[in-house]
């Protein structure tokens, strides 16, 4: 029998996570596309978004949800820290014949020229910073909303962690993708690593990246406190992308938080 040799290759965050995972796998996956439409329908109905209103998709990734917001007639702007994903979002909009604007920016330090009616932080994109940076993101979101404007953010809540902790294997054309989650109990952060095992024995791993410290899992009292201290009112939490909005339960896969900036 031929002796199997293994070789480890570390790819960059852009190559491995952005290009391979978010664009090639998530972007080509029908179930993910269905979920993007479901998420947008939920945001549209639950928040009461109207055609022509200004929506900021913060941490927009490759623009999959932003596209459906634009198709419904919102004036969409997307911000993401990963330049490769912003390029893909622009291409994605062109391909689907919709208009919107995008920029590379950091949600911990962003500012806007003109305030928004709605700000959405989708795909559990809230919480990658330190506690202080996350609090600063909330203050910047507040400043970027019009009076009466609404925020919807998604995060990882700590009650349903068992949904995420097992190792997960995914089969794809390039080989077997392994996701190993790790939870830091002291800091209440969920992190993990990705590895792609190719049939020729090569193991591809991801390098330095902006999410390497994992995501802070806020409890409901913590996130409510953060939002109320900043000035938000009507803070509500829900746990699924079904309409009418479903209550958050300990086993819910999602933490969906909505809040209103007072007039």
Ligand X SMILES: C[S@@+](CC[C@H](N)C(=O)[O-])C[C@H]1O[C@@H](n2cnc3c(N)ncnc32)[C@H](O)[C@@H]1O
Site for ligand X, rule CB under 6 A? 59-61, 64-65, 80-82, 85, 106-108, 122-125, 128, 210-211
CA quadruple 263, 100, 36, 44: dihedral sign = positive
Rounded least distance, CB 108 to ligand X, Å? 5
How far is the C-alpha of 82 from the C-alpha of 104, rounded, in Å? 7
For residues 104 and 86, give the distance between their C-alpha atoms in angstroms, rounded to a whole number.
7
Which residue number, 32 or 202, has a Cβ lying nearer to ligand X?
A: 32
Compute the least distance from the CB of residue 6 to ligand X, in Å: 29
* 25 vs 203, beta carbon nearer ligand X: 25
C-beta of 110: minimal distance to ligand X in Å? Answer: 7
Separation CA 253–CA 22 (nearest Å)? 20
Nearer to ligand X, 153 or 227 (CB): 153
- Run of H or E residues at 71: helix 64-71
Minimum distance from CB of 219 to ligand X (Å)? 20
Q: How far is the CB of 211 from ligand X (least distance, A)?
A: 6
- Crossing angle of helices 64-71/83-95, nearest 10°? 40
Q: Is 202 left (phi over 0), alpha (psi -120 to 50) or beta?
A: beta
**Residue closest to 213 by CA, chosen among 106, 130, 126:** 130
User: Looking at beta carbons, which residue is closest to ligand X?
Assistant: 123
In the complex with ligand X, the residue whose CB is nearer, 85 or 145, is 85
Nearer to ligand X by C-beta: 124 or 190? Answer: 124
3-state helix, strand, coil in the chain (%, to 5): 30, 30, 35
User: Smallest distance, Å, CB 120 to ligand X?
Assistant: 8
DSSP structure class, residue 82: -
Say how far apart CA 154 and CA 156 lie, in whole Å: 7
Q: Measured from the CB atom, is 13 or 232 closer to ligand X?
A: 13
């Amino acid at each position: 029998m031929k002796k199997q040799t293994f070789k480890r290759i570390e790819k960059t965050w852009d190559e491995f996570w952005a290009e391979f995972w978010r664009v090639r796998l998530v972007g080509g996956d029908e179930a993910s596309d269905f979920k993007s439409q479901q998420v947008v329908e939920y945001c549209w109905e639950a928040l009461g978004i109207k055609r022509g209103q200004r929506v900021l998709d913060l941490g927009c990734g490759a623009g999959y949800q932003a596209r459906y917001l634009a198709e419904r007639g919102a004036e969409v702007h997307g911000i993401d820290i990963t330049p490769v994903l912003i390029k893909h979002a622009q291409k994605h909009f062109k391909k689907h014949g919709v208009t919107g604007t995008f920029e590379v920016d950091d949600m911990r330090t962003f500012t806007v020229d003109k305030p928004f009616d709605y700000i959405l932080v989708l795909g559990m994109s809230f919480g990658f910073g330190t506690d202080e940076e996350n609090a600063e993101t909330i203050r910047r979101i507040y400043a970027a909303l019009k009076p009466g404007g609404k925020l919807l953010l998604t995060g990882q809540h700590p009650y349903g962690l068992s949904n995420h902790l097992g190792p997960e294997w995914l089969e794809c054309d390039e080989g077997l993708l392994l996701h190993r989650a790790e939870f830091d109990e002291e800091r209440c952060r969920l992190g993990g690593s990705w590895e792609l095992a190719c049939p020729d024995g090569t193991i591809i791993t991801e390098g330095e990246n902006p999410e390497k410290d994992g995501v802070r899992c806020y409890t409901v009292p913590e996130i409510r406190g953060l939002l109320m201290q900043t000035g938000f009112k009507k803070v509500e939490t829900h746990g699924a992308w079904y309409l009418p909005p479903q209550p958050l339960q300990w086993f819910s896969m999602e933490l969906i938080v909505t809040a209103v900036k007072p007039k």
